[in-house]
Structure 1
Amino acid sequence: MNFDLKSLALPDAAAEKCDLLVLLIAEDFRPGSDPLSSLVAHALKNKDLEAKPGKTLQLYQVPAVAARRVVLAGAGNGSAKAVRQAVQACAAALKGPAVKRAVLCFAAGAQPDAVASAVQAVADATYVYTTTKPQAEAGVLARVTLGVPDKAAAQVAFARGQALAAGVGLAREWANRPANHATPTLLADAAKALAKHARIQCKVMGPAEVAKLGMGAFMAVARGSEQPLRFIELRYSGAAKADAPVVLVGKGITFDTGGISIKPAAEMDEMKFDMGGAASVLGVFRALAELQPAINVVGLIPACENMPDGRAVKPGDVVTSMSGQTIEILNTDAEGRLVLCDALTYAARFKPAAMVDIATLTGACVIALGGVRSGLFASTDALAEALQQAGEAALDPCWRMPLDDDYAEGLKSHFADVANVAGRAGGAVTAAKFLQRFVGDTPWAHLDIAGTAWKSGAAKGGTGRPVGLLVQYLLEQAARPAPAAARKPRAVRSRAA
């Protein structure tokens, strides 16, 4: 979809030729003397419209308005969250089969965050999966003009909204692909395609390279699949070479049967979404390609399938991770932590400022937080606070969970340094405690997105989360002032006595 930005007052909006005009009406709306202002004022006065987010009034062939359809949408206080709700309420109208060009216009002032939110909300509301359903392309909205009072003031936020829309869209598309259209090799190809953008490089390693690195835990998970594993390394270089990067590690299980500890058949098809962490890393790099912030970022994706072949790892098997720690695999369906632990060990070679892993890791996190907030575990308060604030600002929230050492007691093993599961109680926390063993002293956070990476039921599909949270965090880190260079003390000559 193509977006453009225009300075539009209400009289200008009325003259825009389009299939649909959506007017965002905030609570502080003050009508002018033009026809659209009068229309909105009358609708509000007669209580046919409320300025609350989510309230709409649909009109057809309004006199003195060039658009065929008009939707008046309440936008509350005009915040990013209220504007997102307003656009979501207009989703059906935006996806109308005859709507090829739409204008979304702020009837009054437009806050920068609300401008970015409007672009993302339109892209989200009109997203249509097409990879294996090409006929779905018919009737897709092709162009959206965003009307604001001051184009120059909104330009930066508009560009940010476009970049995030592109990143979230890429993450959703790859998460939605069936597993036979999103194999580890195809996922690696998607990463390679990102390297066509400025400042992005991609390196892909196969079984031989991974074996040479000693990634025994990662290799154990991949053993049962005919699809060869891929270890994907993306680099975005936006700052000085000496600047420590942020490393993002995305779980890339492109299909998870559970292995020998096989899952129930019901809803197993949704295990194609088990590479949601990997998809989010791809989405972040797509957004970085557009935004070009002054920061260095490394993305690592251990990608493989978890299948129950005769060669597959068995419950009770012991494997040696890249760190040298041995792991007793009590449950082969706890495979995500096995591929992540080797990737986290590998990440240390970049001497990162921080590491964040993103994974659809535990059903326990879904029970704890549902589909509203991602689970956040962090080794430092500073990193936890930065990620939580970024999530709130991006409307992609998370919630900090504990990492008390007592939770690691259940991971003790008689036959290895650590077991890969610790029972049902506190399952999301014990999984995080397992990962924490492999991060050393580097500030580290783990985002469990098992409840937020996709939706089930009638709205089944990938959400693209937490691309918004991660991009916001990276932009905030890039905007931080560089620490002042340490000054060398001036040499003082001693005087002869």
Structure 2
Amino acid sequence: MNFELKALTTAAAAREKCDLLLVLVTEASAGGSDALSTLVAHAVKAGDFETSAGKQLALYGLPAVAARRVLLLGAGSGSAREVRQAVAGAASALKAQGVAKALLCFAYEACAAAVASAVLSASEAAYSYTHTKSQVKPVALKKLLIGTSGKADRHGVEQAFAIAVAQAEGVALAREWANRPANHATPTLLADAARSLAKLPGISCKVHGPAEVAKLGMGAFMAVAQGSEQPLRFIELHYNGGAKGAAPVVLVGKGITFDTGGISIKPAAEMDEMKFDMGGAASVLGVFQSLGRLQPAINVVGLIPACENMPDGRAVKPGDVVTSMSGQTIEILNTDAEGRLVLSDALTYAARFKPAAMVDIATLTGACVIALGGLRSGMFTASDALARALEQAGDAALDPCWRMPLDDEYGEGLKSNFADMGNVAGRAAGAVTAAKFLQRFVGDIPWAHLDIAGTAWKSGAAKGATGRPVGLLLHYLLATAPAAARPARKTAAARRKAEPAAGSAQG
């Protein structure tokens, strides 16, 4: 879907030719003399429409409005969260057949955050998975025009719009790959997706196969992969937009394309959802999609250890001891604690880039789901500065995280009689002990672990990937750019139209 930002009053919006006109109305929307403003005022006065977030009034064939369909959306006080709720409620209207062009108009002076929220929510609402469906019709919507009437902070609104469009593309790509069944998203196919991103400016890709990974000594990663017929892939992405030699930020995404649990096999119920166990990897792909559009003045490395965790005769067994790339030995007490094994070798590899910081992203523990549910991702770091930066980025992106403890005492349960450490430490504080395991492979580099087991996908009737935490990561990375380089270069605020970048998933 294409997005365009345009200065429009409600009177001008009424004259705009489109299939659907969405009007965001707040408690304080100024009453105008034009036909659309008058209609809104009458509807509110008559009690037929409320301006609280989530309320709607559908209209059709209004004589003074060029659009065939009009949908009034209550936006409460007009905050970013309320705009998100309002636009999400219009999902069925945006997906309706015959709606190829829509206009989302703010009937109030919207702030930059509200405009960004509208873009992201509309993109999410219009997304539809079709890759393995033979009968479904693709969403008709091809273009969404965002109309804002306010003149205050126009530059900030345009910057926020550009970043939101790029973020929406990244989220859509992450959702698409996480949603694909495991036989349509193998480690090899995931590597192909990464190679496609190298078509974008500033991005390069290198893929290591089994022989290269063995040469690197990634014994923990290889142990997880050895039970599968699908060959592992270690994917290495580089975005070079900053000064040559400037320390990069390294993102490490868990890429278990299907997780049976191995010999410690999972229950059958809902095991299909283990295709989402590469949500961390998908988020890294999504971030690079966004970086390719925005071209910020930073350097970023993305690492994805991708494999399946399967239980055949070659699979690693509980009690086996393996040697990680770091030289530390690990007793594998539970083969279903495989994500931390592949991440341990990737984190060791990441150190060669002398990063300013590294962040791993993983659907790692059910314990984190119990602790935080599906609202906030768990965030673990010993660095107060990195914690603040990630928290602020998550809040700005409406993709929040919550800092969890990392006290040294939590690592006591990882002691082993037969290796340097075990890979699990019992049920208590499972999300924390998993993070303590990873911490043993990061040395002195500023590091954070994001446990997205509760936020990467939804179950039930709304089953599907969310694309989180692409937004959090993107806002964090953009904040690391030199102040003089913000917003991203090649995304000049004057550029009003946003066309889809190569390799992006269409939402």
Partner of 1:63: 63
Structure 1, residues 63-108: CA drift from partner, whole Å, max 9, x if none?
Answer: 2111111111111222221211110111121111232221101112
Which secondary structure state, in structure 2, belongs to the residue aligned with residue 355 of structure 1?
A: strand
In structure 2, distance between residues paired with 1:286 and 1:481: 23
In structure 2, distance between residues paired with 1:414 and 1:140: 61
Out of 395, 398, 402, the residue aligned to residue 399 of structure 1 is 402
Quick one: which amino acid aligns to residue 377 of structure 1?
Answer: F
Q: Indicate conservation of the 8 Å contact 1:57/1:73, yes or no.
A: yes
Structure 1, residues 397-424: CA drift from partner, whole Å, max 9, x if none?
Answer: 0101000111111100000000000011
In structure 2, distance between residues paired with 1:234 and 1:379: 26
Partner of 2:249: 246
Per-residue deviation, 1:479:
4.4
Structure 1, residues 340-364: CA drift from partner, whole Å, max 9, x if none?
Answer: 0000000000111101000000000
Q: Indicate conservation of the 8 Å contact 2:331/2:416, yes or no.
A: yes
Quick one: which amino acid aligns to residue 264 of structure 1?
Answer: P
Q: How does 1:394-473 map onto structure 2 within 5 Å?
A: 394-473=397-476
Per-residue deviation, 1:435:
0.2
Q: Indicate conservation of the 8 Å contact 2:91/2:125, yes or no.
A: yes
Quick one: which amino acid aligns to residue 69 of structure 2?
Answer: R
Partner of 1:137: 137
Structure 1, residues 136-166: CA drift from partner, whole Å, max 9, x if none?
Answer: 3344312111111268643322211110110
In structure 2, distance between residues paired with 1:138 and 1:241: 43
Q: Which runs of 4+ in 1 moved over 6 A?
A: none
Which secondary structure state, in structure 2, belongs to the residue aligned with residue 110 of structure 1?
A: coil
Determine if the alignment matches structure 1 residue 97 to structure 2 residue 97. Answer: yes
Per-residue deviation, 1:132:
0.9
Structure 1, residues 369-394: CA drift from partner, whole Å, max 9, x if none?
Answer: 01010000012111011101110110
Partner of 1:486: none
Q: How does 1:58-457 map onto structure 2 within 5 Å?
A: 58-149=58-149, 153=155, 154-457=157-460
Q: Indicate conservation of the 8 Å contact 2:8/2:105, yes or no.
A: yes
Percent of matched pairs sharing the same residue: 75
Structure 1, residues 9-43: CA drift from partner, whole Å, max 9, x if none?
Answer: 11111111222100011222111110001011112
In structure 1, distance between residues paired with 2:150 and 2:50: 25
The structure with the largest alpha-carbon Rg is 1
Worse-matched range after superposition: 12-21 or 405-414 = 12-21
Worse-matched range after superposition: 25-34 or 185-194 = 25-34
Whose RCO is larger (CA < 8 A, sep 6+)?
2
Superposed CA RMSD in Å reads 1.3
Q: Indicate conservation of the 8 Å contact 1:246/1:298, yes or no.
A: yes
Q: Indicate conservation of the 8 Å contact 1:168/1:467, yes or no.
A: yes
Per-residue deviation, 1:46:
2.2
In structure 2, distance between residues paired with 1:388 and 1:150: 29
Structure 1 residues 184 and 23, CA, compared in 2 at 3 Å: closer, same or farther?
same
Per-residue deviation, 1:331:
0.2
Normalised by the length of structure 1, the TM-score is 0.95
Normalised by the length of structure 2, the TM-score is 0.93
In structure 2, distance between residues paired with 1:140 and 1:399: 38
Quick one: which amino acid aligns to residue 282 of structure 1?
Answer: L
In structure 1, distance between residues paired with 2:266 and 2:406: 28
Structure 1, residues 148-192: CA drift from partner, whole Å, max 9, x if none?
Answer: 126864332221111011000000000000000000000000000
In structure 1, distance between residues paired with 2:342 and 2:404: 22
In structure 2, distance between residues paired with 1:139 and 1:61: 23
Quick one: which amino acid aligns to residue 403 of structure 2?
Answer: R
In structure 2, distance between residues paired with 1:331 and 1:344: 21
In structure 1, distance between residues paired with 2:314 and 2:332: 15
Unaligned runs of 5+ in 2: 486-507
Structure 1, residues 232-274: CA drift from partner, whole Å, max 9, x if none?
Answer: 0001011112211100000000000000000011110000000
For these two proteins, the number of residue pairs brought into alignment is 482
Structure 1, residues 288-308: CA drift from partner, whole Å, max 9, x if none?
Answer: 011111111000000000000
In structure 1, distance between residues paired with 2:146 and 2:281: 31
Worse-matched range after superposition: 463-472 or 65-74 = 65-74
Partner of 2:496: none
In structure 2, distance between residues paired with 1:120 and 1:248: 23
Which secondary structure state, in structure 1, belongs to the residue aligned with residue 72 of structure 2?
A: strand
Partner of 1:494: none
